[in-house]
Amino acid sequence: MKICPTCKRSYADDLSFCLEDGAHLSAAYAPNQAPDQEKTAILPGGIRPTEESLSGRPTASEGSTPAYSYRAPGFAEKRDGKVWVIVGSGVAIVIVAFIALAGWLVWKASNKSDAESSQAASKSPNQNRRDTTAPVTASNDDWNRQSQTPETPNLEWLNGVWIGDAYQTDTKTRWAVRLTVRDETYSIDYPDIPCKGTWKLIEKNSQSASFTEVITRGLDQCENKSHVMVEKVSASEISCRYAHAGNRAVIATVTLARKD
């Protein structure tokens, strides 16, 4: 005979589990014999019947493979390895981007410096000409003297005595003009007004010259410091144009003929 330690029901020896509560059956013992507590002790809650035990399926026992298993520890290690690969890739990308940016800034600064050097060279044609045409044996001082002393225009064509009648457009009047040029001295005389003075040279070239007229007699009759432009017409004629001081608008013209 076997007995259920939980519900105390008796079963035949060919049964191993209680049909009422599924507890493991134990051998019967005499009424006056105390049960072996260690052998008949049952965990709290007892053994509950399951679908597997009722259907005759074998249950897991000590030493058998359980119906479930924990995830292998190797999975966590693999995950940590992937995290480090991702972090390392991000750091490498940042370093490459920084190197590329630094290279681009250096390249841009170099191009800017080259452009400024080219502009400086284009703005100093005298320096370029010195480097390409100056003789090797010539010193810098010799070249500077040559470049700073261009050929001086000759005004010998203006030497002599010139006479003519001028016409003034704003007053619609005519007046006689007599110009005398000797040794770079320019004397002007207007006998009809009368006024006298000198011309002070402003600039000149081989075919023309400009002057400021300074009246020394007859200031109440003639405008002082008028601007006069003289051009060579031929060996015996010159043309003069007058303008007010500070204004280049022509107010009078005259063609003078050489008399001496």
Q: Residue 159's pLDDT is what?
A: 92
Task: Write down the residue that tokens 């008399």 correspond to.
Answer: 259
Overall average pLDDT of the 21-36 stretch: 67
CA nearest to 215, candidates 252, 189, 236, 245: 189
Cα(243)–Cα(14) distance, rounded to whole angstroms?
148
From residue 222, alpha-carbon distances to 58, 179, 181 in Å are 142, 16, 21
Q: Is the pLDDT of residue 14 over 90?
A: no
Q: Is the pLDDT of residue 153 over 90?
A: no
**Which superfamily is assigned to 156-258 in CATH?**
Calycin beta-barrel core domain (2.40.128.20)
Q: Residue 15's pLDDT is what?
A: 81
Cα(210)–Cα(217) distance, rounded to whole angstroms?
21
pTM over 0.75: no
Cα(45)–Cα(50) distance, rounded to whole angstroms?
14
Question: So where are the chain's domains?
Answer: 1-60, 156-258
Cα(107)–Cα(101) distance, rounded to whole angstroms?
10
Overall average pLDDT of the 51-74 stretch: 48
Task: Write down the residue that tokens 């059956």 correspond to.
Answer: 25
